[in-house]
Structure 1
Amino acid sequence: AIDILCNQRRLKEALQILHQISHPSPSIYSSLIQFCRQNRALEEGKKVHSHLKSSGFKPGVFISNCLLDMYAKCGNISDAQTLFDEMQERDVCSYNTMISGFTKGGSLEQARNLFDEMPQRDNFSWTAMISGYVRYNQPIEALDLYRMMQNFENSVSNKFTLSSVLSAVSAIQCLRLGKEIHGYIMRTGFDSDEVVWSALSDMYGKCGSINEARQIFDKMVDRDVVSWTAMIGRYFQEGRREEGFALFSELIKSGIRPNAFTFAGVLNACADHAAEELGKQVHGYMTRIGYDPYSFAASALVHMYSKCGNVENSKKVFNGMPRPDLVSWTSLIAGYAQNGMPDKALEYFELLLKSGTQPDHIVFVGVLTACTHAGLVDKGLQYFHSIKEKHGLTYTADHYACIVDLLARSGRFHEAEDVISKMPMKPDKFLWASLLGGCRIHGNLDLAKRAAEALFEIEPENPATYVTMANIYASA
């Protein structure tokens, strides 16, 4: 009856029947505990554990391991630890359950202490500990443990171990070590495993060996959309956009449907290279097969059109989004600001605030840029002060560069110098270039010299500074 109720997901009634049985069998406890684990029903699982104790039932290692796993899967590692300490008998599974629970919760030191105490280990023990190190950005520790594993008899890597180790190699970008593991994979027959093969391709890509990553990719039999997207993205990251676009075309021909990550990667590459025509083709394909207007692929479309200067199309996509995200708002505002429509940029920023969307530091760069192009100095100062005072954000170097540009263009140099003197970080080349540009407009030779000296120090090889100074001297 309890099994039937569990299958029908009627846990409350199953527990009521449990309390009516004087001496429940191990199978009843096992069924209930496993159901609680599967459904992450921690409170009910505790009740089963409590009943087990009060009934005088002496659980063997199997039932105790089921309880351990239930607590660990429900994220209650403290109760799992208490039970583990109380267990008269433990096996490899008991230790593995605790190590896995500790690593998933980020308690790597406790996991390692337990791992080192183990009387014997199996592949799961090694893999759980190695993958835990990888998950919490400790690749060196993961690789040290993998080397230790190789020195132990009867310790053979499986596909999960190798995938984790390749991720660790990717993190430290050690191509030599990656090639050693590649050799091991070939010798042990894991070259036919798609999970390992995908991790291997990823390792070569992240270690900067994109041609070898492509060779591995081409040999993969069952390439899924994740593998395609990763390979396409690697080309774009390396600046090899033509090959990235060509591979995207191959993906479409393959019959595998691109996902939001694929579209976003390709559209961002179009934006970076102002490839609007290609972006339009991608947009057309997305429209034909259908795409989620809530997804970040839609945001990438808004960004692509804005960066390519087609703010009208950007606005059309934006208006078709049921709930535009902050990235979409920012892209549209920046598009208006950078394409000679500052009033529209500020109008949409006010709409953003009314929508209840919390602005971030990036959107304010577009807002301040719009104020600069419109010559709205006081309005720009108002927005600048609101960044910290109203919205609780921290000023960035870009904010300072924008406000100095705004003040310098309007000839308000004392205020610009005051802003610079209060900056918590060292002014960058963009700020000094903005100040120098304002000095050229208004013929402020003294301040221009200060800005130029700073620029000569930051980038002495840039001829633009010399040309600007020559023009200022000529006009003086």
Structure 2
Amino acid sequence: MSCSTEHIITNILRNPKRTVSVSTRQAKQLHAHIVKTKGTFHDDNILVLSLYSNLNLLHHSLHLFNSLPSPPPPLAWSSLIKCYTSHSLLHLSFSSFKSMRSLSVPANQHVFPSLLKASTLLKHHKLAHSLHASVVRLGLDSDLYISNALINMYAKFCNFSVAANAGNVFDVIPHREKFEIDSVGKIFDMMPVRDVVSWNTVIAGYAQNGMYVEALNMVRKMGNNGNLKPDSFTLSSILPVFAEYVDVYRGKEIHGYALRHGFDGDVFIGSSLVDMYAKCNRLEHSIEVFRLLPRKDAISWNSIIAGCVQNGEFDRGLGFFRRMLKENVRPMHVSFSSVIPACAHLTAMSLGKQLHGCITRLGFDDNEFIASSLVDMYAKCGNIKMARYVFDRIGKRDTVSWTAIIMGCAMHGHALDAVSLFENMLEDGIRPCYVAFMAVLTACSHAGLVDEGWRYFNTMEREFGIAPGLEHYAAVADLLGRAGRLEEAYDFISNMGVQATGSVWSTLLAACRAHKSVELAEKVVDKLLLIDPENMGAYVLMSNIYSAARRWKDAARLRIHMRKKGLKKIPACSWIEVGKEVHTFMAGDKSHPYYDKINEALNVLLEQMEKEGYVLDTNEVLHDVDEDHKRDMLHNHSERLAIAFGIISTTAGTTIRIIKNIRVCADCHTAIKFISKIVGREIVVRDNSRFHHFKNGSCSCGDYW
């Protein structure tokens, strides 16, 4: 035995009530020393049991407990119960307490903190209240550690109540939730002595339950307390409040306090600051705080990755994820929940597949949050089959996973599947959320299911207590507009329960263009520009409507008005990823290094298409030019250039995936159907509203889009 170990053992035996930091090896040596010098049944073994319990050594604790003379003293029972609770063996904690009481062993102040923690983890309200009553009867309610445990318990129970009642719009604040949070304040106020843990527990409890004003007030009171000052835990608890309020100025005050008191190197404070600045739209501040952290753990890496993604800096988020892996920091499940949406937004499916492989290797593939993100990513990247494959293997499906697959099916033209999945969700007892209704209404809109769409819209508030929002009204307007029921759509928008926005009127304006209703379009655009006079899309749509009706002067007048207002039309653009490189094509663009080969491929395809019966629809060219010029313009639409490049750059049979920033025109839609049949490939085109899957001469939208 080393001299340092002998010194530690001597200190423990001389001062058994004083907390001493020991290793597992030193605790075992102490046990051996006591058995050798004093015997198996000596009272000092209870001290060893306490050390084993603090070190979470369940097997050693249990073995030593069973070797004690019966009945073991209260401290032995409290050590065993603490160890069971630490290992989440909660029922064994309570069965041990029951055995202890049956042997008439009195309960002391050491046993209740562990039991209160166990009842919290079990979310067992009645059991917790019974323990509180026992504490009061035994006169232990003034004990510092028990009071801290009670505050933590009631704060957590309030949080559970909020989560459980999240979908209940009729109860503003449930009775149980109010009781729990009131208990937090009452216990704290009645405590004769408070330590930093007491203050921090109350502050964190208020913050986690959305009681931000109360949390801030408690921090101020703590700061005015002469003996106790906020520590790193206090600051990391309060920073999310400023993130929620988007109050960067107060957040900076906390940052300054942390710098003045030397907390800036603390990894928890650093992660909270990164998160706070990101949520306050100060991403550069987040990156600077992250850069200055002397030590970066998985939580701080997750914070900066999530911050980048939340602020739309998807490439940066992926870059930080790569750096995290290079520095051998093992990703947590939340790392993937943050980075997968970046792949979805960038439609980077090859990278998404690599992440999926990494998830499987790390054993996170059974995590429902990650699985939901994967469903959403695959759907947004154009692979609905893989999205459905992942969804079908989720063990415990929640509202998020159901909504992700329903929206995915809706965007890919699988409307009947989307409606069927929505009904399956209801049968499984899952309450649909705000977004789930958006998904099913979108599905109905894309398939012309007018009656079903009306039924879902009417059941939102009546059966589920969800008030329709602008997105739902826009979906119903789109549903009616696509079905050609333009006047009905106009009346619906005019009599909405909320103030219509430009985006809602835009859906009807697009329908007017599709159904060539110039008169109604003029009424709609007047309404739209009254609300949103700078809406460039409205001018472009109306100009196109006039052009399609051969009202060239009216179209020219609008274009002149746009120029005077400084509004510029967004040029049509298409993207394709080939060999991990994204290629961009503009309409009529000849700058691509492979343009000559692309043009040659398009000419060959056009010749074969015309043999199959394809006829150019020059009505889609909304310019007052001759027919040859119109043919040339259609021939060089951005999606055709991208598809031709995909054909000449990939092996036969490879699926071609294209993204376009605006709606696919009717002629290109017809042409791509012919191309898919001629080359024998599936071509997936994602435009600004949905996915089109072209295969064997047909499209998944059924020509209804």
Please give the range of the TM-score, normalised by the shorter of the 2 chains: 0.7 to 0.9
* 1:306 corresponding residue in structure 2: 379
Q: Gaps spanning 5+ residues in structure 1: where?
A: none
**1:145 maps to 2:226:** no
Q: 1:215 to 1:178 in 2, by over 3 A?
A: same
Give 1:132 shift: 1.5
Segment drifting more, 186-195 vs 364-373: 364-373
C-alpha offsets along residues 146-200 of structure 1, whole Å, 9 cap, x if unaligned?
2222232331444322322333343334434434433443444434432333223
The partner residue of 1:78 within 129, 132, 156 is 129
Contact 1:337 1:367 in 2 (8 A): yes
The partner residue of 1:93 within 125, 130, 145 is 145
For 2:80 and 2:357, the matched residues in 1 are separated by: 49
Give 1:240 shift: 2.9
The partner residue of 1:283 within 349, 353, 358 is 353
Alignment of 1:387-402 (within 5 A): 388=458, 392-393=463-464, 394=466, 395-402=468-475
The partner residue of 1:112 within 181, 185, 191 is 185
Query: Structure 1: which amino acid aligns with 2:209?
Result: Y
Q: 1:125 to 1:423 in 2, by over 3 A?
A: same
* 1:346 corresponding residue in structure 2: 416
* 2:310 corresponding residue in structure 1: 237
**Partner-residue secondary structure (3-state), 2:393:** coil
CA RMSD of aligned residues (A): 4.3
Alignment of 1:95-244 (within 5 A): 95-106=147-158, 107-244=180-317
Give 1:228 shift: 1.3
Give 1:302 shift: 4.0
Count of residues in correspondence between the two structures? 451
C-alpha offsets along residues 35-63 of structure 1, whole Å, 9 cap, x if unaligned?
675543476467457548xx5x776xxx1
**1:382 maps to 2:452:** yes
* 2:112 corresponding residue in structure 1: 67
* 2:642 corresponding residue in structure 1: none
Q: 1:359 to 1:429 in 2, by over 3 A?
A: farther
**1:460 maps to 2:556:** no
Question: Which structure's residues are more often helix, by fraction?
Answer: 1
For 1:231 and 1:147, the matched residues in 2 are separated by: 29
Segment drifting more, 437-446 vs 244-253: 437-446
**Partner-residue secondary structure (3-state), 2:275:** helix
Give 1:215 shift: 2.6
C-alpha offsets along residues 350-377 of structure 1, whole Å, 9 cap, x if unaligned?
3675686658454554555455455x3x
Give 1:459 shift: 0.9
**Partner-residue secondary structure (3-state), 1:105:** helix
For 1:125 and 1:28, the matched residues in 2 are separated by: 26
For 1:436 and 1:298, the matched residues in 2 are separated by: 38
The partner residue of 1:319 within 389, 392, 396 is 389
Q: Gaps spanning 5+ residues in structure 2: where?
A: 1-40, 121-126, 159-179, 552-705
Give 1:253 shift: 1.8
For 1:92 and 1:282, the matched residues in 2 are separated by: 50
Q: 1:29 to 1:245 in 2, by over 3 A?
A: closer
For 2:145 and 2:248, the matched residues in 1 are separated by: 35
Normalising by structure 1, what TM-score?
A: 0.76
For 1:289 and 1:471, the matched residues in 2 are separated by: 47
**Partner-residue secondary structure (3-state), 2:111:** helix
C-alpha offsets along residues 410-467 of structure 1, whole Å, 9 cap, x if unaligned?
4324543564477544444333222233344556566445533431232122144345
Contact 1:302 1:315 in 2 (8 A): no
Contact 2:109 2:143 in 1 (8 A): no
Give 1:256 shift: 2.4
* 1:40 corresponding residue in structure 2: 90
Q: 1:78 to 1:335 in 2, by over 3 A?
A: closer
**1:267 maps to 2:340:** yes
For 2:246 and 2:493, the matched residues in 1 are separated by: 39
For 2:541 and 2:225, the matched residues in 1 are separated by: 68
**Partner-residue secondary structure (3-state), 1:166:** helix
For 2:514 and 2:218, the matched residues in 1 are separated by: 63
Query: Structure 2: which amino acid aligns with 1:40?
Result: L
The partner residue of 1:255 within 305, 311, 328 is 328
Alignment of 1:345-364 (within 5 A): 345-347=415-417, 349-350=419-420, 353=423, 360=432, 362=435
**Partner-residue secondary structure (3-state), 1:236:** helix
Q: 1:441 to 1:245 in 2, by over 3 A?
A: closer
Alignment of 1:24-39 (within 5 A): 25-27=73-75, 30-31=78-79, 34=82, 39=89
Q: 1:298 to 1:37 in 2, by over 3 A?
A: closer
Give 1:332 shift: 5.7
Query: Structure 2: which amino acid aligns with 1:74?
Result: S
Segment drifting more, 192-201 vs 446-455: 446-455
Normalising by structure 2, what TM-score?
A: 0.54
Query: Structure 2: which amino acid aligns with 1:86?
Result: R
Contact 1:334 1:363 in 2 (8 A): yes
For 1:450 and 1:139, the matched residues in 2 are separated by: 47
Contact 2:267 2:297 in 1 (8 A): no
Query: Structure 2: which amino acid aligns with 1:205?
Result: A
Larger Rg: 2
For 1:409 and 1:226, the matched residues in 2 are separated by: 47
Q: Report sequence identity in percent.
A: 31
C-alpha offsets along residues 251-281 of structure 1, whole Å, 9 cap, x if unaligned?
232222334433343332233244x3xx413
C-alpha offsets along residues 46-81 of structure 1, whole Å, 9 cap, x if unaligned?
7457548xx5x776xxx1452365246414442344
* 2:476 corresponding residue in structure 1: 403
Give 1:301 shift: 3.9
For 1:330 and 1:300, the matched residues in 2 are separated by: 11
For 2:354 and 2:79, the matched residues in 1 are separated by: 53
